[in-house]
């Protein structure tokens, strides 16, 4: 039933879509008033369906590294959701950002997959205008396709320009979501902090200062300091009226504080990271169950350094297969299963890319496709119908 409903949600009148997409985004200027015309035809699509049972199978693929159709072909699975990063407000006027979006969106529609736009305001939380939000919302509404919009992820971290500013972040999220909800009913807003181990990740570029007025907001236990004993999530939550999906980003970076080792994750790691059997808040229970929101794992993968620069020595297949078996677990009762421990988890997105990671100082292979044993194991695990694929 979930597969049939998914297909109905994604099936749209594609001929006018492809004819219009370039025209619409080309007119999505930042300051004009033409794009805020409230007399436009209403959207025909609803937000992505929340499956009653099962998990959307997703992947985050960076542009120009691997095309969506090639990824699906290499894996042998038609994924139901794809994501990539886009800059705002640059997507309204920058030729590269617009072309990147057109390519991504067309590929998602061709693949019958839900597009998840991971939108970033790298210029900061005050780098755009309300009119630019309106223009973007009207553009998304005109696409008439169900969309997930993940806005300024990992806001509890200390490595982005929108980070560790809870008061301004919440206000800006509310403004953005309010306009999206009003003008683009085909779009659902996703709030996805970073998993809280290591919080507040001090001494980085965007770490909050003790003198900042928001410091007291983040000092949730009131002890005068900001440590991993403070709540890494709640101060950044924009509120139930503005958030449609909640989620986490969490990667296996190795098993030591020195990130970047080729280590096989211990079997309890995924559960503890999600607050099962550990001191970190249980994100699923607090935000998905507690706020009645569908949850996603917005980014996950397991680190493998082909050069073994930082040691560890574990094989790629051993590392990634162990992580797959934890994250996508349905049957091993010795560790948390999706249906029992995470019934509100409705999407899992694997970050399948090779990227330079400053924390490790080397290029890291996060992919599912570079090792045939990993590829084959993933395909076997997700063959279960609990994992919702594209039709």
Predicted local confidence at residue 278, as pLDDT: 81
Please list the rounded mean pLDDT of every run of 10 residues in the chain (391 residues).
44 39 44 43 75 98 94 98 98 98 98 98 98 98 96 98 98 98 97 98 97 98 97 98 98 94 97 93 98 98 97 98 98 98 98 96 97 98 98 95
Q: For residue 27, what pLDDT is reported?
A: 46
CATH of the structural domain 2-388, one choice from 3.30.1330.60, 3.60.15.10, 3.20.20.80, 3.30.360.10? 3.20.20.80
- The whole-model pTM stands at 0.91
The per-residue pLDDT for range 5-60, each reduced to its tens digit, is: 444 344 433 333 443 444 344 444 444 334 444 445 455 579 999 999 999 999 99
Query: Residues with Cβ < 8 Å from 174, sequence gap 6 or more?
Result: 238, 239, 242
The predicted structure's pLDDT at residue 15: 35
**All structural domains of the chain with their residue ranges:** 2-388
User: How much is the pLDDT for 42?
Assistant: 55
pLDDT of residue 4: 42
**What are the tens digits of pLDDT across the range 216-272?**
999 999 999 999 999 999 999 999 999 999 999 999 999 998 899 999 999 999 999
Q: What is the pLDDT of residue 108?
A: 98
| Confidence at residue 257, expressed as pLDDT on a 0 to 100 scale | 87
pLDDT score of 12: 39
CA distance 273 to 24: 42
Q: Choose among 233, 164, 136: nearest CA to 192.
A: 233
Position of tokens 């790298």?
A: 122
């Amino acid at each position: 039933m979930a597969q049939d409903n998914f297909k109905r949600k994604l099936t749209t009148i594609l001929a006018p879509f492809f004819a219009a997409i370039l025209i619409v985004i080309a007119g999505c200027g930042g300051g004009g008033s033409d794009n805020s015309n409230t007399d436009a035809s209403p959207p025909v699509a609803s937000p992505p369906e929340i499956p009653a049972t099962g998990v959307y199978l997703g992947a985050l693929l960076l542009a120009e590294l691997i095309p969506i159709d090639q990824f699906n072909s290499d894996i042998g699975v038609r994924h139901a959701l794809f994501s990539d990063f886009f800059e705002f407000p640059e997507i309204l006027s920058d030729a590269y950002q617009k072309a990147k979006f057109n390519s991504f969106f067309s590929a998602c529609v061709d693949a019958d997959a839900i597009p998840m736009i991971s939108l970033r305001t790298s210029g900061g939380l005050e780098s755009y205008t309300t009119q630019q939000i309106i223009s973007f919302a009207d553009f998304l509404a005109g696409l008439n396709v169900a969309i997930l919009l993940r806005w300024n992820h990992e806001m509890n971290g200390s490595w982005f320009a929108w980070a560790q500013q809870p008061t301004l972040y919440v206000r800006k999220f509310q403004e953005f979501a309010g306009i999206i909800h009003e003008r683009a009913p085909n779009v659902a807003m996703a709030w996805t902090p970073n998993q809280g181990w290591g919080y507040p990740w001090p001494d980085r570029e965007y770490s909050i200062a003790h003198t900042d007025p928001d410091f007291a907001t983040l000092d949730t236990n009131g002890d005068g300091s900001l440590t991993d004993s403070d709540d890494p999530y709640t101060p950044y939550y924009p509120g139930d009226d503005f958030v449609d999906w909640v989620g986490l980003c969490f990667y296996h970076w190795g098993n030591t504080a020195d990130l970047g080792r080729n280590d096989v994750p211990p079997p309890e790691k995924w559960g503890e990271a999600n607050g099962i059997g550990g001191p970190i808040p249980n994100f699923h229970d607090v935000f998905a169950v507690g706020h009645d929101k569908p949850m996603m794992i917005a980014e996950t993968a397991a680190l493998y350094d082909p050069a073994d620069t930082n040691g560890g020595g574990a094989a790629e297949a051993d590392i990634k297969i162990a992580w797959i078996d934890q994250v996508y677990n349905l049957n091993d009762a010795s560790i948390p299963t999706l249906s029992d421990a995470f019934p509100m988890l409705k999407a899992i997105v694997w970050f399948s890319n090779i990227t330079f990671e400053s924390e490790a100082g080397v290029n890291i292979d996060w992919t599912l496709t570079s090792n045939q044993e990993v590829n084959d194991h993933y395909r076997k695990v997700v063959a279960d119908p609990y994992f919702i694929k594209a039709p």
